[in-house]
Chain A
Amino acid sequence: MVRYLKRLFVILVIVFIPAGFFTEHEHAVYLWHRIPSVDAIFGVLGALLLLVATKIVSSFASRREDFYD
């Protein structure tokens, strides 16, 4: 099951990342609207940024379940 999901993922990446080069943003306003497949970059950078942010927040704000009791 996991193997099939991995294959599906690879196929989807092969299909949709190049597809970004053939689709244009209809109402491009900013620079990033004109970069092909920019949403893929946003996906990676956003996920990494949130991962780092969660680690920073949990490093000083994590407490035991009964902290307020």
Chain B
Amino acid sequence: MIKPVPPAFIFILGAMLIPLLRLRGNLKQPYLILVSVTAFIDLLYLEPGTSWVYRFLGYDLVFAQVDRLSLAIGYIFVIIGFLAILYSLHVKEDGQHVAAFLYVGGSLGVVFAGDYFSLFAFWEIMAVTSVFLIWYRREKESLDAGFRYVFMHIFGGCSLLTGIIIHIVSQGFTAVGPLESDLGSLFILIGFGLNAAFIPLHTWLPDSYPQGTVTGSVFLSVYTTKTGVYVLARCFSGADVVAYMGGIMAVYGVLYALLQNDTRKLLSYHIISQVGYMVAGIGVGTALGVNGGIAHLVNNILYKSLLFMCMGSVIYMTGKRKLTELGGLAKLMPVTCIACIIASLSISGGPGFNGFVSKGMVISSAAGVGKPILELMLILASVGTFLSFTKLCYFTFFVHNEGIRAKEAPFNMQLAMILTAFLCVFIGVYPRVLFSVLPYHRVYYHPYTPSHVVGVLQLFLLAGWVFMAAKAAFSPHAGIVLDFDYFYRMTCRGIVWLCMVPLNGFRVKAQAFLSREVTSIASLSRNPISIPAITKQYVHLMTAQILKYNAEISQNRKRELEHIRSRLREIKGMAYNENTYRGPMGLGILLALIFLFFYGLIYFLAS
């Protein structure tokens, strides 16, 4: 029997073969699907335990650490990878497919990594490859946003590596698992937190994801933040600071989402908010909390990628991305509209949709461990989520807009949206399939209790009533809203100013001074014998010039100064002529004998 390989290798090898095989037209699309199907079949055969261990520089690198947690994340990563590839089948650029495959492979590598070094290696593969999904849009904004994305992830990667090194030096080479609170774990938390979009390290996310390609943003919305959540579940489960950070992220995300006009920027802020729920559940740390966080991760991947697919289709077919420019698409793009409503109800946690199950688990876990503030923050975020998706659907599909022209998206895009929407409803109606893959399989949670269903419907009805009553206040406006990146950008501009103005000014002055001195030395070196004469004339000139300011200047004195200057110029211009300074050979021999005599005398006296 063939031994199953870590699924990361299938995607990475698959990516490398895309340009080598040079597949055209009808052959390329089946190949892309085949790779993801192979990865899924391989995943089914992966058995719990540790395998694919290699010794490198005295350390054991583990590429397949398989348990319930990594398998749950692995399944959803491969399934959504398949759907995202299906959505992007019409893309002709091989480079986009290569970047997407390497990105998915890197993410799966992080999930199944059993040691910190291989985790770090796959972490960096993710960061480097994902940026191409932004740059492939080939616009100036994308290029700039991609560079900012890379800088932020370099910072996070450096922090993670620093933490790993400190951890290994202090505690030895350990498997990826719960960390004690020390300096190393603080650096690791910053590294993980940057990918999980902790406030205020989140700015790369709403800055770069809206700038990705239509299909690239679907991949981006899934993997980076979710691997961050996964490693937090591995290493920082039960940490209070993580739990409250989750609450802050949930509220902060919806608050900023409500202010956005760009559809994909609105979705990006909702990634932060939804990741906040996952982080909160993991921070609570109980079996219900961790299960809730991971269940929300699985559900979020489904409905968030569906939302990015819907908005990608809208942008692809209309060329417009701002809520102020959209509207009236419900009749023109009915499949996209229905898929978007399903995704909106899922993310809001409507009964019958997958978000209802997992959001309830996280909120219940916060209440169960005596964190009332956290529970209220998560409920508030729930209200905000419903409001902002009511706003998104209303202003994209239902508000009156005569000027818009569009037709339904290509078939492969529709098929991917329909399948993903089906999964959102299927898990919502039949949550047992989700519960069966969660890390703690002996935790019982019944989402469809009367109080939960009635409570959520009350929340939606009354929040919806406020939305309709204050529709004008919630309507989108052109412009941007400053976030924490304002401070980062201003700091960077300050550093650039420091380099360009004071430091560059100093450099120019130092360069001019040194150039002048080098020119003088070069001039002197043409005739070194003349240095004493030049020094003498120079001292004479300086003395005369100083005296000039202290006494009456007569015509004679002026003439004297001019004479000294001309003499100085004459000496400087004098070329070296060895015949002028040549002495008899006997003089040189005499000097050598004198030196030899004194050298011998000193040697004799010293010994």
Which residues of A are in contact with B by a Cβ distance under 8 Å?
9, 12-13, 16-17, 19-20, 22-27, 29-30, 33, 37-44, 46-51, 53-55, 57-58, 61-65, 67-68
Q: Taking A20-B458, A64-B479 as contacts, is the C-beta distance between A50 and B368 under 8 angstroms?
A: no
Q: Which of B195-203, B464-472, B555-563, B597-605 contacts A (4 or more CB under 8 A)?
A: B464-472
Interface of chain B, main secondary structure: helix
Q: List 6 A-B contacts (CB under 8 A).
A: A12-B457, A25-B451, A40-B458, A43-B463, A50-B384, A61-B482
Q: Which of B50-58, B104-112, B116-124, B253-261 contacts A (4 or more CB under 8 A)?
A: B253-261
Task: Check B482 against A63 for contact (C-beta < 8 Å).
Answer: yes
Q: Taking A9-B465, A57-B255 as contacts, is the C-beta distance between A49 and B380 under 8 angstroms?
A: yes
Taken together as a complex, chains A and B put the C-alpha atoms of A17 and B457 apart, in Å, by 9
Query: What residues of chain A lie closer than 8 Å to B478, measured between beta carbons?
Result: 65
Q: Taking A16-B458, A24-B451, A65-B478 as contacts, is the C-beta distance between A44 and B466 under 8 angstroms?
A: yes
Query: What residues of chain A lie closer than 8 Å to B259, measured between beta carbons?
Result: 54, 57-58, 62
Q: Which residue of A lies closest to B489 (CB)?
A: A68
Taken together as a complex, chains A and B put the C-alpha atoms of A16 and B380 apart, in Å, by 20
Known contacts A44-B462, A63-B482; can you find 7 more A-B pairs with CB under 8 A? A16-B454, A26-B451, A27-B364, A29-B367, A43-B383, A47-B462, A57-B255
Q: Taking A26-B449, A51-B466 as contacts, is the C-beta distance between A43 and B459 under 8 angstroms?
A: yes
Taken together as a complex, chains A and B put the C-alpha atoms of A47 and B483 apart, in Å, by 22
Nearest chain B CB to A60 CB, angstrom units: 8
Q: Which residue of A lies closest to B375 (CB)?
A: A30
Q: Which residue of A lies closest to B364 (CB)?
A: A27
Query: What residues of chain B lie closer than 8 Å to A9, measured between beta carbons?
Result: 461, 464-465
Q: A46 is contacted by which of B372, B384, B456, B474 (Cβ under 8 Å)? A: B384
Query: What residues of chain A lie closer than 8 Å to B368, measured between beta carbons?
Result: 27, 29
Taken together as a complex, chains A and B put the C-alpha atoms of A42 and B455 apart, in Å, by 10
Taken together as a complex, chains A and B put the C-alpha atoms of A37 and B458 apart, in Å, by 7
Q: Taking A12-B457, A44-B463, A51-B470 as contacts, is the C-beta distance between A62 and B367 under 8 angstroms?
A: no
Q: B459 is contacted by which of A33, A39, A62, A68 (Cβ under 8 Å)? A: A39
Nearest chain B CB to A17 CB, angstrom units: 6
Taken together as a complex, chains A and B put the C-alpha atoms of A11 and B26 apart, in Å, by 53
Taken together as a complex, chains A and B put the C-alpha atoms of A20 and B478 apart, in Å, by 40
Taken together as a complex, chains A and B put the C-alpha atoms of A17 and B451 apart, in Å, by 12
Query: What residues of chain B lie closer than 8 Å to A17, measured between beta carbons?
Result: 458, 461
B481 close to chain A: CB less than 8 A: yes
Query: What residues of chain A lie closer than 8 Å to B256, measured between beta carbons?
Result: 57
Task: Check A40 against B462 for contact (C-beta < 8 Å).
Answer: yes
Q: Taking A27-B364, A57-B259 as contacts, is the C-beta distance between A13 and B384 under 8 angstroms?
A: no
Task: Check B479 against A50 for contact (C-beta < 8 Å).
Answer: no
